[in-house]
Amino acid sequence: MRKIAGGSVMTTGDAADGGGAQPQRPADDRVRRAQRGDVAAYESLYREHVGRVHALCLRITGDRGVAAELTQDVFVRAWERLAQFRGESVFATWLHRLTVNLVLEHARAEARRVRRVRFAGDVVGHSAAAAADELTEARAVEPGFSPEQRIDFERAVAALPLGARTVFVLHDVEGYKHREIATLTGTAEGTLRAQLHKARRKMMEMLSR
C-alpha cells in the first residue's frame, strides 16, 4: 500500500510490482487435488484467500453487499475455471487477476445501468463511509498504520469517484502497472495517469484534514 504523509505518497509494501503479485508460500497439492474434484481442498484454498479477495472487491466497488456477492462469484468462477490453471504462476496471482477481471466486468455493467437509471430520473448511491468501516473490520492493520489511520484511509478511498478509485486501488494499492490497468479496463494510459493524479490529490486533501 502507499501511505500519504508530508504531501507525498510513500510505499509501505502492501503489494509488490507486477500485477499485484505478493510473495506466496510454496504451492502445495491443494490446487491439484481441487482440480480432481476434491471439495475439501478447494474449501481450504477458499479460507486462505477469501479475505484478500473480499477486500479487493470492497475497495473497488465501495459497496458491502456487492463486494460480498462478487467474492462468492469469484470463487464460483475460479472453481469452474480451475482446470485452466496450469501452475505457470502461483495460485494467488491467478485468483487475484480473475478477481480484478470480474470486478471490472461488474463495474462496466453497473456504469451502463446507472446511466440508464439516471436517464429515467431515479437516484442511485451507496454509503462510502459504511463500506469503509466494513473493509477496515475485514482487514488486519498493516505495520505503520494505527487503527484510526486505517479507517481514515479506507474512507478516503471509498469516497473517490469510481474511475479514480479503480486506478488508485489497482496501481497504488495492488501494484499493477499503467499498461496492465489499460489492458484490464480498456482505458487509455494517459487517461489513467490523469485519474491517478486526481485520486492522489484528493486522497492527500482528505487525509490532511
The full set of domains in the chain, from first to last, is 18-126 (1.10.1740.10), 160-209 (1.10.10.10)
Amino acid at 51: G
pLDDT at position 89: 85
- Residues 158-168 have pLDDT tens digits of 899 988 999 99
**Vertex 74 angle, CA 108 and 44, to 5°:** 165
Burial class (CB in 10 A: 0-12, 13-18, 19+), 97: middle
141, 156, 158, 160 from 62: Cα distances, Å: 19, 11, 5, 9
Contact 7, 70 (CB under 8 A): no
The amino acid sitting at 195 is Q
Q: Is the pLDDT of residue 139 over 60?
A: no
Residue pLDDT, tens place only, 173-189: 899 999 999 998 889 99
Instruction: Find the mean pLDDT for residues 5-23.
Output: 41
Q: What is the pLDDT of residue 153?
A: 86
pTM of the model: 0.66
